């Protein structure tokens, strides 16, 4: 299994900023320390060229990012201050998902220890998401004639609104989002299938919903590859989540998705997603659990 990482690129943030930038380095170190991933499986991500970003994002938005001319409103919406490091790190994060997507087609499973930036729209960033890595990776694979159809399974607690907007009306990509109905973003977009959940749902009801919808989604999608946005903010300890899932419930969630792909012979790309638990160790444990579940399914 090839796993890409970009924590060598560090985004400078002001003191007290909510985004857990250190998560990416800490997760890679923890996966190595526990022997979940051997060092030989890890590959540094390469910043993606602009020509590939243009398959999803508008020239005006990319020009503003490259030159540091985003408006104050755009910066507020993004949630990050502009810097050259922001652009390079974000390009590397997308590069990791593109690399993982190509690897998954040959190996069956690959991952990016970043990505899942599903709130980025073609013409703006939002919610700490600069570029939409999954959308870009799908468009790159389609342009390279490696795939025709893709399915996105987005289980972050926040709806994948940017991804939904990119692919609305495109029958070649099926977008499936299971999220907190009353959580950000408060103006939802239209995925191919949306399942909005009430606060405090808990493991049993959540897993029943997922087990009901997932087989129908994969049957309808007829996809050549599955992109799994494995956000860990449904966790009970997460400060932004509110769905109250336990670590055991999160791992069972992951297993359901991974086994569904495995049994269908569907290559799977694993990206991260939200995680704002305090302490951060709970977020890290949930991400590690995703990789443990992946390896238990794809390497039985």
Residue with tokens 């495995």: 262
DSSP letter string over 242-297? -S-B-HHHHHHHHHHHHHHHHHTT--EEEE-----BSSHHHHHHHHHHHHHHHHHH
Under DSSP, is residue 201 helix (H, G, I), strand (E, B) or coil? coil
- What are 260's two structure tokens? 């569904």
> Do residues 243 and 201 lie in contact, with contact meaning Cβ atoms separated by under 8 Å?
yes
- What are 297's two structure tokens? 């399914």
State residue 160's pLDDT score: 98
**Average pLDDT score over residue span 258-277:** 97
What angle is formed at CA 131 by the lines to CA 178 and CA 284, rounded to 5 degrees? 55
Alpha-helical (H) ranges within 111-263 are 133-143, 161-167, 203-221, 247-263
Q: Tell me 151's DSSP state.
A: E
> Do residues 260 and 270 lie in contact, with contact meaning Cβ atoms separated by under 8 Å?
no
- What are 277's two structure tokens? 């638990």
Phi and psi at residue 290, to the nearest 5°: -65, -45
What are the domain boundaries of the chain?
2-298
The model's confidence at residue 300, banded by pLDDT at 50, 70 and 90, is low
State residue 278's pLDDT score: 86
Count the neighbouring beta carbons within 10 Å of the beta carbon of residue 182: 11
Q: What is the pTM of this model?
A: 0.97
Nearest to 209 by CA among 239, 241, 245, 183: 245
**Average pLDDT score over residue span 182-201:** 96
Verify cis geometry, omega within 30 degrees of 0, for the bond prior to 185: yes
Q: Tell me 210's DSSP state.
A: H
Supply the mean pLDDT for the chain.
97
Bridge partners (DSSP) listed for residue 150: 173
Q: Which run of H or E residues covers position 86? A: helix 84-107
**Average pLDDT score over residue span 10-24:** 93
Q: Give the list of residues 6+ apart from residue 270 with CB closer than 8 angstroms, or none.
A: 100, 109, 110, 111, 112, 228, 230, 290, 291, 294
Q: Is the pLDDT of residue 1 over 80?
A: yes
Nearest to 10 by CA among 92, 104, 78: 92
pLDDT tens by residue, 70-80: 999 999 999 99
**Average pLDDT score over residue span 163-182:** 98
Q: Does the structural domain 2-298 have CATH classification 3.40.800.20?
A: yes
pLDDT tens by residue, 53-92: 999 999 999 999 999 999 999 999 999 999 999 999 999 9
């Amino acid at each position: 299994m090839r796993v890409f990482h970009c924590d060598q690129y560090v985004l400078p943030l002001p003191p007290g900023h909510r985004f857990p930038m250190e998560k990416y380095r800490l997760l890679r170190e923890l996966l190595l320390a526990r022997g979940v991933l051997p060092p030989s499986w890890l590959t540094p991500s390469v910043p993606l060229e602009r020509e590939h970003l243009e398959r999803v994002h508008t020239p005006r938005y990319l020009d503003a990012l490259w030159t540091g001319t985003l408006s104050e409103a755009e910066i507020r919406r993004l949630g990050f201050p502009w810097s050259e490091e922001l652009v390079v790190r974000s390009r590397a994060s997308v590069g990791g998902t593109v690399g993982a997507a190509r690897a998954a087609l040959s190996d069956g499973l690959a991952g990016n220890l970043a990505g899942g930036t599903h709130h980025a729209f073609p013409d703006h960033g939002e919610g700490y998401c600069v570029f939409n890595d999954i959308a870009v990776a799908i468009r790159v694979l389609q342009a390279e004639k490696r795939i025709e159809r893709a399915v996105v399974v987005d289980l972050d607690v926040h709806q994948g609104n940017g991804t939904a907007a990119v692919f609305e009306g495109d029958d070649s990509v099926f977008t499936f989002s299971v999220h907190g109905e009353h959580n950000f973003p408060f103006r939802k977009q239209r995925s191919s299938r949306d399942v909005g959940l009430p606060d405090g749902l808990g493991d049993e009801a959540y897993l029943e919903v997922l087990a009901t919808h997932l087989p129908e989604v994969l049957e309808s999608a007829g996809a050549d590859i599955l992109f799994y946005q494995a956000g860990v903010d449904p966790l009970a300890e997460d400060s932004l989540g509110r769905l109250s899932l336990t670590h055991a419930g999160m791992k069972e969630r992951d297993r359901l998705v991974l086994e569904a792909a495995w049994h269908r012979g569907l290559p799977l790309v694993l990206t991260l997603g939200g995680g704002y638990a305090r302490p951060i160790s709970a977020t890290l444990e949930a991400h590690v659990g995703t990789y443990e579940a992946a390896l238990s399914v794809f390497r039985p």
